[in-house]
Homo-oligomer: A and B are copies of this chain.
Amino acid sequence: MDRGRLQTTRVTTKLVADACGVSVGSVDRALHGRPGINAETRERILETARQLGYSPHLLARGLVTGRSGTVGIILFDLAHQFFTQLATALIAGLRAAGKVAYVALTDKDPGQERAWLETLANLGVDGIVLVPITKGPEIESFVQGIGRPVITVANPLGEAAEHVGIDNRRAMAEAVAHVAARGYTRVVYLSPPLSGPPEINRAALEERLAGFEEGARAAGILGCSQVVSCHPYIEVVEEAVRKPGIRTAVLCSSDMYALKVLPHFRACGIRVPQDAGLMGFDNIETLRYVTPALATVDYRIEEIGSRTVERLMAALEGRAAPPPGPVPHRIVPGETL
């Protein structure tokens, strides 16, 4: 293997060929176990290739085959556990499928999303996993024009790309049902603002909001419930919860909100769950270190990752894609309701 060499020239197929007194064609056939080569010349080639420390130049291979063996992963950031767990699952799954992953972060900036898509396409990635921050015809046609499979996660992109994710609407509706079943007759639903530029993709959050409304209506508590999606929200939530007479729970569109609300309630003397219920969504890792245990909605991010890789590889190999359908979720009861 002669590692330790420092500036010696690269070991190419040509070099191996010369060393064996054969042509690069034969070396290639040997290296890939392709037919059309004598068994013992193949062994001889393989042996010297190993001795010389040959390893394929993946750029060159990618240039000629059109397959680079790489996949791009485009996320908002790595600050939220959803993304880190997703990235972990994707990287591992892709590795198992023989692909190496680029990781690109958009910071929720449409410009960066676009720039990364272009850069990755120019790098010849075989496919892209995208958590889209934009939506609409422009990105959709751009994504389709990339000419390589793109799988979206969390926020879908219409017909432009295959999608993997949970059924946010249904999950949130079930969360409301769970809250109602615990005896709460009023829900304060906490969500980031859903207004703003129309090209921003808030599909997942919109689905959750729709799920809240659906669930609240089904439980007959929509009338006295309330959506808080302003900023700052914490005082508004506090005030809403202080309304006397009705058992009120704060239902958060994601755990992060609950993690902000909990210490605030503690600081201002609102006891959870005696004075107000609290429920999150996503079941992020941090919850393991939080008391009281937060009620939340759980789903296996690894499952999202593996399904995404599965679909991507199916598209790449021309196999039939596995049947679509959302990744399952489940309600996690906690001490906060």
Residues of A within 8 A of B (CB): 3-7, 55-60, 62-63, 68-70, 77-79, 84-85, 87-88, 91-92, 95, 100-105, 118-124, 141-142, 144-145, 147, 259, 262-263, 266, 285-286, 289-291
Inter-chain contact A118/B55, CB cutoff 8 Å = yes
| B-side contacts of A266, CB under 8 Å | 291
Q: Are B78 and A68 in contact (CB under 8 A)?
A: no
Q: Which residues of B contact A87 (CB under 8 A)?
A: 78, 103
Residues in chain B near residue A122, CB distance under 8 A? 55-58
Residues of B within 8 A of A7 (CB): 147
B57 touches A60 (CB 8 A): no
A59, A105, A124, A147 — which one has the most chain B CB atoms within 10 A of its CB?
Answer: A59
Q: What's the Cα separation between A212 and B123 when bound, in Å?
A: 48
Copies of this protein in the complex: 2
A261 to B230 Cα, complex, angstroms: 37
A234 to chain B, nearest CB (A): 14
With A78-B87, A100-B119 in contact, is A59–B4 under 8 Å at CB?
no
Most buried by B among A4, A141, A262: A4
A63, B7: Cα distance in complex, Å: 18
Asked if A100 meets B123 with Cβ closer than 8 Å, knowing A4-B145, A286-B289, the reply is yes
Cβ-defined partner of A289 (8 Å) among B59, B69, B118, B289:
B289
Kindly name the residue among A78, A79, A101, A286 whose own CB sees the greatest number of chain B CB atoms within 10 A: A78
Min distance, Cβ A72 to any Cβ of chain B, angstroms = 9
6 contacts between A and B (CB under 8 A): A6-B145, A6-B147, A77-B88, A78-B78, A79-B84, A91-B103
Contact yes or no, B70 A123, CB < 8 A: yes
Which residues from B are CB-within-8-Å of A120?
Answer: 100
In the assembled complex, which residues on chain B have CB atoms less than 8 Å from the CB atom of A68? Answer: 59
- CA distance in complex: A263, B59 (Å): 51
Do B104 and A102 have beta carbons less than 8 Å apart?
no
Smallest distance from the beta carbon of A145 to chain B beta carbons, Å? 4
Chain B residues whose CB sits within 8 angstroms of the CB of A147 once the complex forms: 6-7
* Closest residue on chain B to residue A262 by CB atoms: B289
Chain B residues with CB under 8 Å of A78's CB are: 78, 84-85, 87-88
Decide: B79 and A88 in contact? CB cutoff 8 A: yes
Once the chains are docked, how many angstroms separate the CA of A200 from the CA of B63? 38
- Point out the residues of chain B lying under 8 angstroms from A259, CB to CB: 289
Per a CB cutoff under 8 Å, which of B3, B88, B95, B262 touches A145? B3
CB neighbours (8 Å) of A101 from chain B are 102-104
> Taking each of A58, A87, A121, which has the highest tally of chain B beta carbons within 10 Å of its own beta carbon?
A58
Apart from A4-B142, A263-B289, what 18 extra A-B contacts exist at CB < 8 Å?
A3-B142, A6-B144, A55-B121, A59-B62, A59-B63, A63-B63, A78-B84, A79-B84, A79-B285, A91-B104, A91-B105, A92-B105, A100-B104, A101-B103, A102-B102, A103-B103, A289-B289, A289-B290
- Taking a contact as CB atoms under 8 Å apart, the answer to whether B3 and A141 are in contact is yes
Please give, as numbers and ranges, the residues of chain B lying within 8 Å of A100 by CB-CB distance.
102, 104, 119-120, 123
Residue of chain B at shortest CB distance from A141 = B4
